[in-house]
Amino acid sequence: MKLAVINGSPRGEKSNSKKIGAWITSQQGLHNDLTVDTYYLFKINRQDAYIEDLSGTYILLFIFPLYVDSMPGIVKLFFEKLEQKKQAFGGRPVYFVIHSGFPELIHSRSLERYLKYYATKIMDMNHLGTIIWAGSEPLQMAPDNFFRKKIILFEGQLATILTKKRLPEDISEQLGGKEHISKFQSIIYPITPFKDFYWNSQLKKNKAKKLLKNQPYA
């Protein structure tokens, strides 16, 4: 059995998407006949060669971040190229993981809808589910221990994927995602003391704090 992890993050090997992919496939040793291959879409020049490769018997698992409310441009480019070869992908099992900086699921719902449309109506693939992890950016800041429950949940999906079963309908909620912030949060957030801490500390580290609100093109 062959599983292709298709990493659609422009950050490539330094991405949160890579970490998530590693969590999902961490138990691969338990499956004797399994080969896992990872493809990085940020290597744009290799996208055509990847498609040739993927037209074999792989189960497809796309993992990428939300970029301005949908997929990163490099992922859309890949989707367009894949459509050109759609006859090789009919009926193929496909899963998606999308993850976002903002902590509400609502940001990713429209992309989730499109992914289902793309997989089923454009590609005639066998779409078996989309996981949304809302609020993945802390992965850059906190140790993996902090995400233990989520890691276990991600690890648990490998068996489902390899048996080509549908992911649980509520998988995104199981990951802790809430559709919206509460009214209370939206009132309290602007007066929370440390809300800008991460950005301010990064700016300070780069001696750019005074430039935070710079308007170079005004």
Partner 1 sequence: MNITIINGSNTDAKWLDHENALLSFAKKLETNHQVTLVTIKDLKLNYCTGCWDCWVKTPGVCMHKDDGPGYLKTIVKADMLLYASPIVSGFMSSETKKALDRFIPSVLPLIRPYEGEYHHLKRYDSANTFGVLLFEDMDTDPEAAQIIFENFNRIRKNMRADHFISQLVRPDNMEVLAHEISRY
Q: Which residues bind partner 1 (CB under 8 A)?
A: 9-11, 15, 42, 44, 65, 67-74, 76-77, 79-80, 82-83, 102-104, 106-107, 110-111, 113-114, 117-118, 121-122, 180-181, 183, 185-186, 189-190, 195-196, 199, 202-203, 205-206, 208, 211-218
Write down the least CB distance from residue 165 to ligand FMN, Å: 26
Is the distance from CB of 25 to CB of 158 less than 8 angstroms? Answer: yes
Catalog residues that contact ligand FMN under the rule CB under 6 A.
9, 11, 15-17, 65-69, 99-102, 107, 136-137
Residue with tokens 């648990």: 156
Which residues are bridge partners to 35 per DSSP?
Answer: 2
d(CA 83, CA 51): 10
Write down the least CB distance from residue 67 to ligand FMN, Å: 4
Q: Which does 80 bind (CB under 5 to 8 A by kind): partner 1, ligand FMN, none?
A: partner 1
Write down the least CB distance from residue 186 to ligand FMN, Å: 16
Q: Looking at beta carbons only, is 123 or 131 nearer to ligand FMN? A: 131
Neighbouring CB atoms inside 10 A of 54's CB total: 20
Report, in this order, helix, strand and coil percent for the chain, each rounded to 5.
50, 20, 35
d(CA 106, CA 109): 5
* Per-residue DSSP letter, 218: -
